[in-house]
Amino acid sequence: MLPGGCDIHAAFDSPTGLIYPAMDTGNLTLRTNSTAHEILVDPKTGRARGVAFVDSVTHKSLEAKAKVVVVGASTLESARLLLLSKSPQHPNGIGNSSDHVGHNFCEHLMGPGVTGLVKELVGKEHGIEDGRPGGFYVPRFRNLSDKQPGFLRGYGFEGNSGKSIFPDSTDRPGFGKQYKKEVRDYAGAFINMGGFGEVLPRYENAVSIDPDVKDAWGIPVLKFDYKFGDNEKKMAEDMAVTAKEMFEAAGIEVIGVDKELLTEGWSIHELGTSRMGSDPKTSVLNQFQQSHDVKNLFVVDGSSHVNASCQNPTWTIMALAWRSCDHLADELKKGNL
């Protein structure tokens, strides 16, 4: 997928698959350039009554009234919005009687992996290998039937191989005829894979409101207290060792092993700041991503994930949002909200 979505609407993206169809119902008003900074509370009931926002072009402050507030600003921005929404009824931020909003921030572990050369493929002519939808995938195998001494949970491998429209051999050294020949000969002869692991959700990994720094609209930004722990480091070591072992067992010449963990935040799969659970003391949302504290407040994004597991998150985010919306529609019909 290219940035900006698919021009010809052949691939799924939110505008194509969700927003335009929702507009077609005639029941959606889209207000763009609107930066929400507070969920407003009805002082009598403690329930959400709307949202305060800034028009990001005119900088005007505005309010929108609502029967139900559904937040989907992403794992980080939703936490920020909840924490910013302080009121006498919700002094810790709305929906935050558990003190769990912003906590258990997690994501994925990446970096360690292996690159190999399949000698038999050097100098081979192009075939039609490029029509494949993607690379290869090794699902999680650690801590399923075995028990790893060094770490909990596990990781999968994502990899790539084969010739493609743009040769994968262009980082051959040098220049000139020799370089050109090497690019040609080695194209499609490389194979690589990298680990994709779970960063454990831990209470102490958290985001909170920065007391000093504000954004362009004067809204306080988030501060991060987030570090990989021992589990992540041990898991990363295992990724590198195991990746190499797998390639060697497959008869691939290993030409490089990456051992280093990419830095915290690299995976750009932020999750877990308003976790879901059945106990209102240790979680923020119920199974329908509905606030335990404020029944007409929902958070339908990556915030609700209790852990990152080792899979890409978006389909799960969307599936949960869908379920939450069905529940919401039901509750509205029953007059419960």
Ligand X SMILES: Cc1cc2nc3c(=O)[nH]c(=O)nc-3n(C[C@H](O)[C@H](O)[C@H](O)COP(=O)(O)OP(=O)(O)OC[C@H]3O[C@@H](n4cnc5c(N)ncnc54)[C@H](O)[C@@H]3O)c2cc1C
* Chain positions contacting ligand X, by CB under 6 A: 34-36, 72-75, 77, 81, 268-269, 301-302, 312-314, 317
Q: How far is the CB of 172 from another protein (least distance, A)?
A: 9
Q: How far is the CB of 320 from another protein (least distance, A)?
A: 30
Window of 2-10, 18-26, 229-237, 321-329 that interacts with another protein by CB under 8 A:
2-10
Residues within window 34-93 making contact with another protein, judged by CB under 8 A: none
Is residue 230 helix, strand or coil?
A: helix
Contact 238, 150 (CB under 8 A): yes
Kindly tell me which of 117 and 308 has the beta carbon lying closer to another protein.
Answer: 117
Interface with another protein: number of residues (CB under 8 A): 39
Count Cβ atoms within 10 A of the Cβ of residue 298 and give its class: 0-12 exposed, 13-18 middle, 19 or more buried. buried
Contact 234, 196 (CB under 8 A): no
Residue of 57, 50, 49 lying closest to 36 (CA atoms): 50
From another protein, ligand X, none, which one binds at residue 7 (CB under 5 to 8 Å depending on kind)? another protein
Q: How far is the CB of 178 from another protein (least distance, A)?
A: 10
From ligand X, another protein, none, which one binds at residue 313 (CB under 5 to 8 Å depending on kind)? ligand X
- Kindly write out the interface string for residues 145-174 of this chain, putting x where it contacts another protein by CB under 8 A and - elsewhere: ------------------xxxxx--xx-xx
Contact 85, 94 (CB under 8 A): yes
State how far the alpha carbon of 326 is from the alpha carbons of 26, 50, 251, 265, 329, in Å.
19, 21, 51, 32, 5
Kindly tell me which of 82 and 252 has the beta carbon lying closer to ligand X.
Answer: 82
Residue of 45, 129, 36, 122 lying closest to 90 (CA atoms): 45
CA 224 to chain centre: 16
- Kindly write out the interface string for residues 122-141 of this chain, putting x where it contacts another protein by CB under 8 A and - elsewhere: ---xxxxxxx----------
In sequence order, what are the residues at sequence separation of 6 or more whose Cβ sits closer than 8 angstroms to the Cβ of residue 172? 179, 182, 183, 186
Q: How far is the CB of 289 from another protein (least distance, A)?
A: 33
Residues that bind another protein (CB under 8 A): 2, 4, 6-8, 113, 115-117, 125-131, 163-167, 170-171, 173-177, 179-181, 183-184, 187, 192, 194, 255-256, 258
